[in-house]
Amino acid sequence: MAELKGVTGKIARVDLTTKTVSVVEPPEEVYRKFLGGSALGVYFLFKEGVVEPDVHPFSPENMLQFMIGPVTGVGPNARSITITKSGYNFISIATSGGRAASELKFAGWDGIQIVGKADKPVYLAIVDDNIEIRDASKLWGMDTQKAEVELLKAVLSPLEYRESILIEAELTPEWAALRPPKRRGIGAKRLAAAWVIGPGGENQVWYANVITEGARAHGRYGPGAVMGSKNLKGIVIRGTKGHRLADKAKFLEIAGQIQASEAKDYFWRSYGTAGIGARSANIEDAFPIRNWQWGAWADPENVRALEGAWMDIASFVKQVACPGCTLHCMYLTQVTSKDPLMDGTITDMPDWEAMGMVGGNLGYLELPEATPSDPFKGDHWDLAEFLAKNQYTTFLHDYYGLDYIEGGCLLALLMELRQRDLITPEDLDGIDLKWGDVHAVDAILKKIVAREGIGDVLANGTWEAAKYFSEKKGKPEIMNYAMTGHRYAQPAHDVRSPADKNALEYVTVSRPCEHTGGGGAAFKQGDWAAAIAGQNAKAAVDSLVYCLFAMGHWAGKTVDLLKAATGWTDFTEEDLGKVGARQYALCRLFDIHTQQIKDPKKEWDSLFPRRWFKDPLPTGAYKDAVAYEGDPSKLFDEALPAYWKERGWTEDKGIPTAETLKELGIDDIAEPIAAQHR
């Protein structure tokens, strides 16, 4: 086989049951069809039979994949992506920033596929071609920060480890060891990188994530729980090889253009999504406040605590970035609070999702006894405490290794049930979980990660918790307060506000209720063809694999960069779109088949919050707004079938037709499954 460029042509398959490592070498046509990352990972879930319903998410037969793409390595905005069957029994695709992505390429791998289950806790140590399965008994039970440091020490010499501490001497030793060296970008000095799980993953909390660099996460759909089910604590990688490119000069020229464009990006370089996210969400009436009971504060002063510039003054420590990124959206901060529980904690500046889901959503941005409809009567010290609670709760999720979108959704559900006297403190093992109470949040999260008492129920997420309480209390209306889509948390974007998302985005995105699926403006205009093109383009981003936040800077250059990496000179924009279309068709079939859904619209597609249609926004610019004029049939019986038709899927069930699968060139793996569900 001719030597491949861009990709390495090798994926490591690690079987933890047999303690063996083998090498999977996909042919070039598979790379051309799927590129890498998410699309290639989903392809393998079909090829290896993980899509079948008898493969339990936490069984040894499930496959957990860490994948990168042809431009990951010395390319800009490098990210990695995990693909597996989620503990919720649907597709799990989760992307993360951090150096580990490039490190994997430099070690000579396009991905790692983990199957089986170790008989005791282990971690993987990858140094170039050498992959060792090592004992992790001493790391089991450790939080994510400590565990990551221990893994780095395992592959770095004492001198190298000491150097990394000295470079970042202003931080705590734990954080110092996790930060990238000062020189970044192409040619940056590299040491090693690691992915780890915390106690959340070890105890198979369904929404446990995988953490790197202290606060970067393969955040959603619980890859950490699958990792924990395999007794795998972490993966540490050290790569010393290069990134083999077809046309190095061209590749570096285009990469340089992307970085130069990013350097002029005022929005991302000014605190990332934290910059103006809070203020604009309040203007758009789309801020998750108290489990989406409000979309805006009557007094915008409440939200000032979460504006980038204000957070900068209150708690900024240091700005950091992924390899080759000039946007550097991540900010390290140190919590300032009168409360010793929180004061001094080092964490990252909450991004928009954290601000929404474990900020406004938990009632952290009002004074006691005030509601979001009241004027703000506090001072800047009160604002500092609002911010501290948001930062600290973000930190707790990272520290334990939990998705704060699902975590925030669950906590807000419980707080609203408490507000409405639908549950009591006794239902939560004596914890009185009220709006704004960070100590109660601290206590309940401890129970969840340990699966102790009621924590064992709550560890299975928002939907299961609502089901449990509605049955226990004999009150079916409790389900109305679960703000989930496809049984997973709705992220911090509202569908009632016309300025935010169209509900069909959440309904159709390739992983359940994902907020970065693409096609936003076209969805609002009802232009399904353009919306689908946007979704396909985003799926291609996750297959290449680079950062969504940089997508605008890659526009018009992506295919040329890919060509320079791979040497596929005949590759076109249309080919790129087809990669996304393949991912969408396969993800749709995965969810339908693995759950053995007979009536997709009833059992799956319409599993969205009643609040979207029945609880109008009570205040703000879009007061009284609801989704789809309050009529779910306009969404599920009119818009959705039209979207499916545009995709070449059946209009009654949304199953890709035989012609569509053939046209996409995936009929060999997908048609036998699709035929069972049409």
Q: Site residues (CB under 6 A) for ligand SF4?
A: 77, 97, 268, 321-322, 325, 327-330, 547, 549-550
Q: How far is the CB of 521 from ligand SF4 (least distance, A)?
A: 21
Q: How far is the CB of 309 from ligand SF4 (least distance, A)?
A: 18
Task: Between 515 and 578, name the residue whose CB sits nearer to ligand SF4.
Answer: 515
Task: Between 192 and 327, name the residue whose CB sits nearer to ligand SF4.
Answer: 327
Judge whether 410 and 462 are in contact, CB under 8 Å: yes
Q: How far is the CB of 351 from ligand SF4 (least distance, A)?
A: 9
**What are the Cα distances from residue 313, in Å, to 200, 349, 355, 525, 544?**
33, 12, 17, 40, 37
Rounded to whole angstroms, how far apart are CA atoms 68 and 237? Answer: 14
| Residues in CB range of 145: below 8 A, 6 or more apart | 174, 175, 178, 214, 399
Q: How far is the CB of 259 from ligand SF4 (least distance, A)?
A: 11
Q: How far is the CB of 184 from ligand SF4 (least distance, A)?
A: 10
Sign of CA dihedral 176, 199, 107, 104: negative
Residues in the chain: 678
Task: Between 271 and 608, name the residue whose CB sits nearer to ligand SF4.
Answer: 271
CB neighbourhood size of 226 (10 A): 30
CA-based radius of gyration for the chain: 23
Rounded to whole angstroms, how far apart are CA atoms 489 and 512? Answer: 9
Task: Between 79 and 582, name the residue whose CB sits nearer to ligand SF4.
Answer: 79
Task: Between 77 and 536, name the residue whose CB sits nearer to ligand SF4.
Answer: 77
Judge whether 461 and 207 are in contact, CB under 8 Å: yes
Q: How far is the CB of 326 from ligand SF4 (least distance, A)?
A: 8
Task: Between 98 and 288, name the residue whose CB sits nearer to ligand SF4.
Answer: 98
Rounded to whole angstroms, how far apart are CA atoms 398 and 130? Answer: 30
> Helices 37-47 and 667-674: crossing angle, nearest 10°?
60
Q: How far is the CB of 319 from ligand SF4 (least distance, A)?
A: 9
Task: Between 311 and 478, name the residue whose CB sits nearer to ligand SF4.
Answer: 311
Q: How far is the CB of 546 from ligand SF4 (least distance, A)?
A: 7
Task: Between 271 and 399, name the residue whose CB sits nearer to ligand SF4.
Answer: 271
Q: How far is the CB of 540 from ligand SF4 (least distance, A)?
A: 16
CB neighbourhood size of 641 (10 A): 17
Of 70, 91, 33, whose CA–CA distance to 579 is shortest? Answer: 33
Task: Between 99 and 588, name the residue whose CB sits nearer to ligand SF4.
Answer: 99
Q: How far is the CB of 76 from ligand SF4 (least distance, A)?
A: 8
Q: How far is the CB of 255 from ligand SF4 (least distance, A)?
A: 13
CB neighbourhood size of 630 (10 A): 14
Rounded to whole angstroms, how far apart are CA atoms 85 and 52? Answer: 10
Task: Between 115 and 545, name the residue whose CB sits nearer to ligand SF4.
Answer: 545
Q: Please give the single-letter amino acid code of residue 206.
A: W
Q: What is the dihedral of CA 483, 485, 489, 490, to 10 degrees?
A: -70
Task: Between 97 and 350, name the residue whose CB sits nearer to ligand SF4.
Answer: 97
Indicate left, alpha or beta for 272 from its phi (over 0: left) and psi (-120 to 50: alpha). Answer: left
Q: How far is the CB of 257 from ligand SF4 (least distance, A)?
A: 16
Judge whether 605 and 506 are in contact, CB under 8 Å: no
Judge whether 370 and 419 are in contact, CB under 8 Å: no
Task: Between 216 and 647, name the residue whose CB sits nearer to ligand SF4.
Answer: 216
Look-up of token digits 């939080």:
143
What is the 3 state secondary structure string of 204-233? CCCCECEEECCCEEECCCCHHHHHHHCCEE
